[in-house]
Structure 1
Amino acid sequence: MHEITNYIWSTVFKQHTLADRKPVDTVEAYIVVFDGAEAFTWGNNVNVSAIYLRDYPGPMDLKWEFTSLERTHIFQWNGEGKTPGALTEGIADYTILKANYYPPGFAAPGSGDKWDQGYDFMARFLEYCDGLVPDFVAKLNNMMRYKYDVSFFQDLTGKPVDQLWTEYKAKYEKIVSEEIQG
């Protein structure tokens, strides 16, 4: 757990001091019987679905996947509850994307229907934004310490989020078009 926590703090959120980090004394993990979700985090508790674990489809290290994904929720700022769930979920998926530890079927770059679709689609969009502004996700997370506003995207990139989304989609449509012609 120590390795994963340090990865989240140092690599994803760039939080190198205690003052930068969300104060968390303990994290507890539970395997619970529930259906409809792989896991959920409430406070400092990670709850993983026993049903999902039973039917886990791949050779990946399941422990790392859940502890990194759900631990990200514990340590991320969320604007004191005002950050949309699609963004907080996308940041968690961004953690496994950045670690190159994403599962088969993870969204391809450029996929998604809207910028705030969430999860792996949001992770790919955040990856794009991170390519425009180094440490974009860390900076965005820091801005969400006490509040959330969609204008944070513009504050960091100089462009409104809808323009970023349009440019993101255009970039990958061009790449796919070139590959087909190619």
Structure 2
Amino acid sequence: MADYTLSLVSSIFLIVASLYGITCLEFIVINNAKTTPGGIRFEKEIGLKYAKEAMETTSKFIWNMLNQNDPKDRRVMDNVTMYISEYKGAEAFTQANKINVSSVYLEGYQGNLTWEFTSLVYHEMTHVWQSFGAFEPIMLIEGIADYTILKANYYPPLYAKPGMGDKWDQGYDFTARFLEYCEGLKPGFVPTLNKMMNITYKEEYFVDLLGKPVNQLWKEYKAKFGGKPSTKNSNTIRERRYSDRYLGY
């Protein structure tokens, strides 16, 4: 009888949890590159324990930043898993609730690896929790992720200064600085925009929230910081990359 009662209570809890978005969220880190130089460096300078703590800490920061402290306002998932894997290319990439970090990147990074790893986790965990449906410009998505590291004060010294960039959706720190400007015009702009992007994205959202087209806002942003919008053809403007933030351009 006791087993039946316990089972019934557990079933009721799971039903309620599914209705209200309550989950027992677990953060998992798996080092699939233990024998590689980058995987070994990860174990020595970061470690599984710190990586899990960083995932939890950054998640709480992002929930607060995006007004997602209520579980009903964010994606329902029972775990977020990070894999340290040996591959060349992007420093890291995120698909749904799975984050992949390159051991090759960790091996070659020059500087405080723990600091850099934490900054990277802020960026990638934003991709786990931010909203996006269909037709979003990928560079806006990356811009919101870099806006997180800006607000968390985990951005590198050569991160874009206010007013830099050739177009608002050039990506990463260029777009993050523009979002910072928009947030200054209307506090709550970034979390509201993020929520509106849950199903789809429209440039009209900028008009809805700030009363002006995004290109007009970009011109005013550039003017405020002494810059001029680029005269280049938009097809010739290179999109920003994650690594550009360490190059100073």
| TM-score calculated relative to the size of structure 1 | 0.89
- Structure 1 residue ranges, 4+ long, deviating more than 3 angstroms after superposition: none
RMSD: 1.4
| Structure 2 SS opposite 1:81 | coil
Query: Partner amino acid for 1:29?
Result: M
How far apart, in 2, do the equivalents of 1:58 and 1:4 lie? Answer: 21
| Correspondent of 1:130 among 180, 183, 193 | 183
Match of 1:36 in 2: 89
Match of 1:16 in 2: 69
| Structure 1 SS opposite 2:145 | helix
Is it true that 1:58 corresponds to 2:111 in the alignment? yes
How far apart, in 2, do the equivalents of 1:45 and 1:37 lie? Answer: 15
- Sequence identity, in percent? 53
After TM superposition, give the deviation of residue 34 of structure 1 in Å: 2.3
Match of 1:7 in 2: 61
Is it true that 1:74 corresponds to 2:136 in the alignment? no
Q: Which moved more, 1:33-42 or 1:96-105?
A: 33-42
| Correspondent of 2:149 among 96, 105, 116 | 96
| Correspondent of 1:160 among 213, 233, 241 | 213
After TM superposition, give the deviation of residue 84 of structure 1 in Å: 1.1
How far apart, in 2, do the equivalents of 1:121 and 1:91 lie? Answer: 10
| Structure 2 SS opposite 1:173 | coil
After TM superposition, give the deviation of residue 141 of structure 1 in Å: 0.4
**Residues 17-69 of structure 1, C-alpha deviations (whole Å, 9 max, x = no match):** 11211222211111122223111101111111112111223336133212211
Higher relative contact order (CA 8 A, sep 6+): 1
Aligned residue pairs total 172
- Answer whether contact 1:24 1:75 (CA < 8 A) is retained: no
Larger radius of gyration: 2
**Residues 67-126 of structure 1, C-alpha deviations (whole Å, 9 max, x = no match):** 211010010001x23211101100000000011110132111100000110111010110
Match of 2:47 in 1: none
Is it true that 1:27 corresponds to 2:83 in the alignment? no
Match of 2:158 in 1: 105
Query: Partner amino acid for 1:70?
Result: E
- Answer whether contact 1:82 1:148 (CA < 8 A) is retained: yes
Query: Partner amino acid for 2:153?
Result: N
| TM-score calculated relative to the size of structure 2 | 0.66
Q: Which moved more, 1:81-90 or 1:29-38?
A: 29-38
How far apart, in 2, do the equivalents of 1:58 and 1:132 lie? Answer: 36
Query: Partner amino acid for 2:185?
Result: L
